Structure 1
Amino acid sequence: TLTNPLSSVLTGIPAGSYGSGNSWMESLFHVQNTPFPNLYWATTSWNMGAAFWPLIFVPLTESSGRMPGYFVAYIILIISLFPSAFAQNYATLVVTRFFGGGASSVSINIVGGSISDVWYGDKARSLPMSLFGLTSVIGIALGPFVGSAIVAIHKSSPWRWIFYVQIIYLTGLLPIFWLVLKETRADVILARRARKIRKETGRPIYAEAELDNTSMWRNVQISFERPTRMLLTEPVVAFFTLWISFAWGILYLFFSSVVQTFSSNYGMNSLQTGTIQLAISVGALIGTVINPLQDILYQHSARRNTENPGKPIPEARLYTSVGGSLLFAGGLFWYGWASMPSVPWIVPTLGIGACGIGIYSIYMAVVNYLTDAYEKYAASALSAASLGRNSFGAFLPLASYELFETLGYGWAGSLLGFVGIALSVVPVVLIWKGPEIRRRSPFMREATFATDEDDEFDAGVEKDAEDGGENGAATCRPSR
């Protein structure tokens, strides 16, 4: 459980560390980075890979298992860093980072799935998912600090050393992950056991997954179609995607805006601005400490659930996120209006930290609510949200320079803050009208109905398997 979040951090760092070498790449590759941040296109390509690769490759792990998919993605990430490290032109960076971002996102998605496999139930999964949410945010947020530290240490071709160091630690940890991480997908484990039993005994025992004739291509097709359909037809998915996408876009916007504001207002160098961005990680850590309160509120909601007695209310996942979302919006106002030479640097830094708390809170609320509300279709709902947030992370920061230069730091922060306030209405509406919205949603209704059927089926699985073993082919089904 601890190894999985660690790998999430390590594979996320390359997303944000790249920008620390901008001044050297601008000179070497003759890329003009002002007034338009052309060097950010390499981060845009990273995020577009992160947006689309999971839709294609994560479904392939349905039959092969999580660990083969994880290690293939991990190795592709390492391989993609080599041409980036030795690039002789900027186009090479843009292309190779598309592959790196895609591979990184696939590996992180698989890590999240592995945690859900191992820890079943709200209480058991609470802490592991909280840690995974933390590492998902700080893995990206640590990037600028790690990159700027490498640049500060290596004076000869420092931007290349950003990639060299990543190659070294990712390659060095590969055998450790290989030894520690094990397959967690239940149907794949059962299929392996069933094949072993057939080979040893000759008995016709099959895992349920082996009897599923759905083709790999059909799984990929569903992986594209269902999230898209849910984005277009499910208001909850659409608005939650907007909510998390804006927060994720701001996370990447800080990569460029912090350098812009703190270097011009306070004369800070690359290492200093990278250190300032640690405030996002500190904020996410504070959010993790607060998160158990949200879990307590969620569990206690079962006492007043008249719709499904004894089961927590899905909207109870959103209680602390209302405050977190408003704190996120307030942090944007804070950061914008405090970013002036006459105000000590720590003041806008605290605003960034407030945003970090909010980003973590929003991320956890979206992941947990979509998982609870859509159950059977949670993977598709989360894929839709992931597609949106990585797309915002790809393009929103491209407007950073013009936004802050044209409007000024205060009004640029205010514009972003007002958008944040508007999106804070999303969890409020769900808390207020959640049951009614869920009753009107065909996906939520079907997911709930399917779950009830599964619970009834589980009661007879063991007896059915025994009868099959005596009289015919037995079917092994993953336990819930």
Structure 2
Amino acid sequence: MSKPASLTVTDTEFGDQEAETLANLGLQRGSDGLISWRPDSKDHPRNWTSARKIFDTTVIIFLELFVTVVSTAGASAAHAAQPEYGIDNVSSILAFTFINRQPLHPALSEPIGRRTPNLISCGIFSLFSLLTGTVPHFAAVWTGRFVTGVTSAVPAVVTAGSIHDMFGGAQHVWLVVVWNAGSTAGLCLGPVYGAYVASACGGWRWGFHCSAIVTAVYFLCLLGVRESRPSRILKGKMEVLRRASGGGSGTGNLDWFNPDHAADVRALVRLVVVQPLRLPGTELIVVMVTTISAVSWGIIYLFTESLPDVCMPMSAGFTRTSSSLAFLAFLPGVVLSLLPRFEGKIMGFAIAAPALAVGLMWYAWTIPPAAAQVHWPVPTAALVPVGFAVSEMAYTLSAYLTDAYQLYAASAFCGLAFVRALVSGVMPLVGQQMYPGLGANIAGTIVACFALVFCLAPWVIFRYGKTLREKEPFRQTQFGEPSQESGSVAD
């Protein structure tokens, strides 16, 4: 456990006056002498009113959904913009998709809170979306997509921590489910958004104009969202106590536990840079599940490049715009990912792994040229189990990281987001080369074979998960004994 951050003033004897002063602020002094939250404090995010929680949670979840939509809309924009700029296909895909959603920022939501990163990133996202769609130079696309990619990764990193701040127990479980389902749905809706906004409004630039407008509205909504990180709120209360103690309030020493305290610049760098990058590289189960989640998530990005080209030959009525509707077939699978919540996390993962392999193999061998006479609904239906698997795997990892790392969930997600963004950025380039080069059937089979390997992962977790978690070095260093993992209002 980290050492407590001390704000020491002249000590006085603890007594009724101190207890009353602390109680008025929703605080108490524990048996260890440190000041902490009272379980019934109305200012702790777990005890906020339902209306406050609903508003804040709705805003941050839908912000994450929309920026995810914009991330997968890049493939359709890349094809539309290519003739305008006179560039090759690879350069266009690189600019519109690969550099998008790269989380180069550290996990700043721990030391500076949840609200500020969301506000700043949303405002920047809106401005650079406008730049991408307005400035008629290819350099603007590179710059705009890179900056929006970096800032769009912020909600993915922050939202997990925000949900943990405000909810516990069953509410927390279902909110993480909804958040993950929304993110996966956003991946699938992106190609449809990009294709149809461009078609309806007169060009690919309108996809980014609309993005700028929508995120500007979200920015205004975020102004009404409260800071939810308990340690940040508690720090403000300690400042109030310090000033009051100087005026003779009768409060004793002001030592309190601050998990975000950094004694110097080196400690701050460790907290916001080293720690997020170390988690997915040193914790064995996190390495395994991060890899699986990143690859399964990236499969949707693979389809953004390959699916329209596969769909168009299957029906004379399909255009590149209408073929984007095939992505809607993923959505029923996303909805089905709610069902395993009545069983258990790992059991859902055990179902999702083979579902992904079966869905990908089914798709690979019911598309042209091997299945030239098969009607398009047959391979399209194969996308339902793929959507289920991607959503379920994302939930399993999210739930694991949130449960295991609690206050440090945003740090854990920062490392995950980095790996996932790299894989997702590479996938459209892989699809652009692999499907035409090998043929859709062979390329699809190779992808399905990778998914078959993932079927071993649930059984590794069943058999060795507890042992591996107990040996994780970060977990032992930060949390110590299991009794300190309660996730209660005292966190």
Pairwise TM-score range, normalised by the shorter structure: 0.7 to 0.9
Residue in structure 2 matched with residue 346 of structure 1 by the alignment: 377
- 2: distance between equivalents of 1:87 and 1:377? 40
Letter of the 1:93 partner, please give it.
Answer: V
Residue in structure 1 matched with residue 424 of structure 2 by the alignment: 393
Over residues 258-283 of structure 1, what are the superposed CA-to-partner deviations in whole Å (9 max), with x where a residue is unaligned? 11211233342233122111222332
> 1:134-283 maps to which residues of 2 (within 5 A)?
134-155=181-202, 158-179=203-224, 181-199=225-243, 202=247, 203=249, 205=254, 208-209=257-258, 212-215=261-264, 218-267=267-316, 268-283=318-333
Query: CA 1:348 to 1:23, structure 2 compared with 1: closer, same or farther past 3 Å?
Result: same
Q: Indicate the larger mover: 259-268 or 375-384.
A: 375-384
> 1:35-50 maps to which residues of 2 (within 5 A)?
36=90, 38-47=92-101, 49-50=102-103
Query: CA 1:453 to 1:140, structure 2 compared with 1: closer, same or farther past 3 Å?
Result: closer
TM-score scaled by structure 2? 0.80
Over residues 373-405 of structure 1, what are the superposed CA-to-partner deviations in whole Å (9 max), with x where a residue is unaligned? 455765444333222111100112211022112
Choose the corresponding residue for 1:112, options 147, 155, 160.
Answer: 160
- 2: distance between equivalents of 1:173 and 1:367? 24
| 1:19 paired to 2:50 | no
Does the 8 A contact of 1:257 with 1:401 survive in 2? yes
* Matched residue SS, 2:99: helix
Letter of the 1:389 partner, please give it.
Answer: R
Does the 8 A contact of 1:248 with 1:390 survive in 2? no
Unaligned runs of 5+ residues in structure 1 are 298-316, 459-477
- 1: distance between equivalents of 2:363 and 2:268? 44
Looking at both structures, which has the greater relative contact order when contacts are Cα pairs under 8 Å and sequence separation is at least 6? 2
> 1:332-411 maps to which residues of 2 (within 5 A)?
332-340=360-368, 341-375=372-406, 378-411=409-442
Quote the RMSD (CA, aligned, Å): 2.6
- 2: distance between equivalents of 1:279 and 1:350? 7
Over residues 323-352 of structure 1, what are the superposed CA-to-partner deviations in whole Å (9 max), with x where a residue is unaligned? 111111111111111112421111111112
Letter of the 2:351 partner, please give it.
Answer: G
Query: CA 1:435 to 1:342, structure 2 compared with 1: closer, same or farther past 3 Å?
Result: same
Q: CA deviation at 1:210?
A: 10
Q: Which has the higher helix share?
A: 1
Over residues 39-65 of structure 1, what are the superposed CA-to-partner deviations in whole Å (9 max), with x where a residue is unaligned? 343211013x23x22xx2x32x33432
Choose the corresponding residue for 1:89, options 124, 134, 137.
Answer: 137
Does the 8 A contact of 2:293 with 2:394 survive in 1? yes
* Matched residue SS, 1:214: coil
> 1:441-460 maps to which residues of 2 (within 5 A)?
441-446=472-477, 449-453=480-484
Choose the corresponding residue for 2:351, options 309, 319, 323.
Answer: 323
Residue in structure 1 matched with residue 147 of structure 2 by the alignment: 99
Letter of the 1:14 partner, please give it.
Answer: V
Letter of the 2:321 partner, please give it.
Answer: L
| 1:128 paired to 2:172 | no
Residue in structure 2 matched with residue 313 of structure 1 by the alignment: none
Q: CA deviation at 1:286?
A: 2.0
* Matched residue SS, 2:208: helix
| 1:28 paired to 2:84 | yes
**How many percent of aligned residue pairs carry the same amino acid?**
21
Q: CA deviation at 1:321?
A: 0.8
Query: CA 1:83 to 1:379, structure 2 compared with 1: closer, same or farther past 3 Å?
Result: closer
Does the 8 A contact of 1:16 with 1:255 survive in 2? yes
Q: Indicate the larger mover: 138-147 or 126-135.
A: 138-147
- 2: distance between equivalents of 1:13 and 1:226? 29
Query: CA 1:211 to 1:70, structure 2 compared with 1: closer, same or farther past 3 Å?
Result: closer
Residue in structure 2 matched with residue 435 of structure 1 by the alignment: 466
Does the 8 A contact of 2:176 with 2:398 survive in 1? no
Choose the corresponding residue for 2:115, options 59, 67, 74.
Answer: 67
- 1: distance between equivalents of 2:69 and 2:266? 32
Count of paired positions: 426
Does the 8 A contact of 1:70 with 1:106 survive in 2? yes
Q: CA deviation at 1:22?
A: 3.1
Letter of the 2:228 partner, please give it.
Answer: T
Choose the corresponding residue for 1:287, options 326, 331, 337.
Answer: 337
TM-score scaled by structure 1? 0.82
